Amino acid sequence: MRIYWFFLIICVSFATYAQNEVSLKGNFPGAEGRTLRVFHYADQITYLKKEIDRQVIDSLGDFSFTLRLNATENIFFRIDHARMHMFVTPGEEYFLQFDPVDFSEMKDQGNPYIDPWYFSFDILKPKDDLNARISNFDDRFHDFLSENFVRMQKSRNFRMLDQFRVQMDSVFGDITDPFFMNYYTYKFAYYYRVSGSISPVRQIETYILNEDILYNNTQYMNFFNAVFASYIFAGSRSLQYGDLTYTINQLNSYNALMDSLGKDTILRNELLRELVLLNGLNEIYGKNEFNKQNVKSILHHINENSKFFRHREIAGNILHQKTYLSEGSPAPSFELSNSEKNKVNIPDDFMGKFLLLSFGTSNCQSCIIESYAMDELAEKYKDQFAFLTIMTDRHEKDFLDYVQAHKFGWPHLYFNHRFDLLDDYRIRAVPFFVLISPEGDILRYPAPYPSKELINTFDYLLFQKRRNNQQ
């Protein structure tokens, strides 16, 4: 009997594990040998994108992922500067066919970090799935807003939105997929809110209270974040701003803060109250009127002690997002090759000196101007500071031609399509500068431009170092 129950438990566990898997296969002609990465939102309070898998596309253009997800959610593909997304459901098997792309002919137009590319793909399996429904619905909603939203707000004729809802009900009303039904409901809820056709209290009573919190549904969380933006510090009639600042700055108490929020009858439910608190702490972190260390302390308390697993995750994500690349945090490490193919480890190879790390491209005029200003600093401060430039050109030949043409007096490395490195340093534009301490920690992020006040920063750091050595 014991053996029977043991195998039964194993079988149930295996079945549950399989139900949480998403099979994702596809073909991408022209992308052979390139790395395809998959991300999802770690949560939708911080919207922190977390990499969950990566794979090098094989010589036939094929790729295959098996993802472990607990619920339907939005995932993102990253390849080079391109970003694409789709919704996936545990237990489903998807096959994607990308349109052919000739990467050798591609050039960076504008700023690909701010305006990333999109590569088209079709979902061949399953047919008529959740993505098709959402795309159809979003297109119809976009057309309606483009044609009517300004006129609707000016005339205060909110019946137009109701009439559109009736039309959409006739198209999508028979769909029973829970994720789509909630996506549909909360997209309308958001625009009822934006249009002002429903009072803030009624919004919460209708769409939030006595409803499940849909942490993975993008439209629910979009609505939630809009409803509770600045709520605990400005939106609630029951909460006094002075009481909250006192609770955070003087008492530094999670329990007292939760008790204060509990005065609001809308926030009596502990699960909802704590999520609203997390939303508020995410907003106020770093604001001058709140003690940053106390906000961190309260977030650490939630991260370690919350009854709700998702809230522990969210608190940890807020702490990571707010402190990552901040002064004193470790500089992300990586290894690249210079033009002679010699390996360089950052920041390990530069320990003991201040390091000015820069990012640029060969076709960026501002990068070249700043490099000449940096050349002067490199000559003046070469005994105390090291200098290093990462070139993010699409084609390695452009990098090699640049190094040969300019011959600056410090190492230049090619990023070799390491887009994860650009993500690690959150590069969104070039030129970009980061100052790293002799111990390998972030000192200034971003650092000032060499052509501007960077020399003052250098002199101040050297002054501090001398003073510390004398003590």
- Do 339 and 461 belong to one domain? yes
Q: Shortest CA distance to 446 belongs to which of 376, 377, 357?
A: 357
Report yes or no: 183 and 217 within 8 Å, Cβ to Cβ. Answer: yes
Long-range contacts of 103-109 (CB under 8 A, 24+ apart): 103/30, 103/31, 103/34, 106/394, 107/394, 108/81, 108/361, 108/363, 108/394
d(C-alpha 322, C-alpha 284), whole Å:
11
* Site of tokens 């007292």: 256
- Do 78 and 143 belong to one domain? no
**Residue 12 counted as domain residue:** no
Q: Shortest CA distance to 374 belongs to which of 326, 406, 405, 344?
A: 406
d(C-alpha 70, C-alpha 77), whole Å:
19
Last residue of a domain, one of 323, 357, 373: 323
Give the chain's count of helices (H) and strands (E): 15, 15
Report yes or no: 386 and 410 within 8 Å, Cβ to Cβ. Answer: yes
Beta-strand relationship, 412-414 and 385-391 = parallel
State which residues form the domain around 187: 133-227
**Residue 5 counted as domain residue:** no
pLDDT at 17: 47
- Do 443 and 355 belong to one domain? yes
**Residue 219 counted as domain residue:** yes
* Site of tokens 């390091």: 355
Domain containing 374 — which CATH number?
Answer: 3.40.30.10
Report yes or no: 356 and 385 within 8 Å, Cβ to Cβ. Answer: yes
**Residue 9 counted as domain residue:** no
- Do 209 and 299 belong to one domain? no
Q: Shortest CA distance to 54 belongs to which of 66, 44, 43?
A: 66
- For 402, the token pair is 């640049």
Q: For the chain, what is the domain count?
A: 4
In angstroms, the Cα distances linking 33 to 90, 105, 137, 341 are 28, 16, 36, 20
CB-count burial class (<10 Å; 0-12, 13-18, 19+) for 311: buried
- Do 50 and 38 belong to one domain? yes
**Of how many residues is the chain composed?**
471
In angstroms, the Cα distances linking 364 to 62, 375, 392, 416 are 35, 17, 11, 18
Q: Cis bond leading into 100, ω under 30°?
A: no
pLDDT at 116: 77
- For 288, the token pair is 């001058």
Domain containing 102 — which CATH number?
Answer: 2.60.40.180
Report yes or no: 62 and 23 within 8 Å, Cβ to Cβ. Answer: no
- Do 300 and 340 belong to one domain? no
d(C-alpha 389, C-alpha 410), whole Å:
8
Please give the order of strands across the beta sheet that includes 73-79.
49-56, 35-41, 73-79, 82-88
**Residue 33 counted as domain residue:** yes
Last residue of a domain, one of 296, 323, 350: 323
**Residue 7 counted as domain residue:** no
**Residue 14 counted as domain residue:** no
- Do 343 and 453 belong to one domain? yes
Report yes or no: 114 and 428 within 8 Å, Cβ to Cβ. Answer: yes
The DSSP symbol for 233 reads I
- Do 428 and 365 belong to one domain? yes
Last residue of a domain, one of 78, 105, 127: 127
- Do 209 and 263 belong to one domain? no
The DSSP symbol for 449 reads P
For residue 16, the tally of other CB atoms under 10 A from its CB is 9
CB-count burial class (<10 Å; 0-12, 13-18, 19+) for 353: middle
- Do 417 and 446 belong to one domain? yes
Q: Mean pLDDT by 10-residue block, N- to C-terminus, for the chain (471 residues)?
A: 54 52 96 96 97 96 96 95 94 96 77 80 91 97 93 82 96 95 98 88 94 97 96 86 93 96 94 97 94 97 98 98 96 88 92 96 94 95 95 91 92 93 93 97 97 94 88 71
**Residue 445 counted as domain residue:** yes
pLDDT at 410: 93
- Do 361 and 400 belong to one domain? yes
* Site of tokens 């942490």: 215
Report yes or no: 104 and 32 within 8 Å, Cβ to Cβ. Answer: no
Report yes or no: 90 and 100 within 8 Å, Cβ to Cβ. Answer: no
- Do 100 and 161 belong to one domain? no
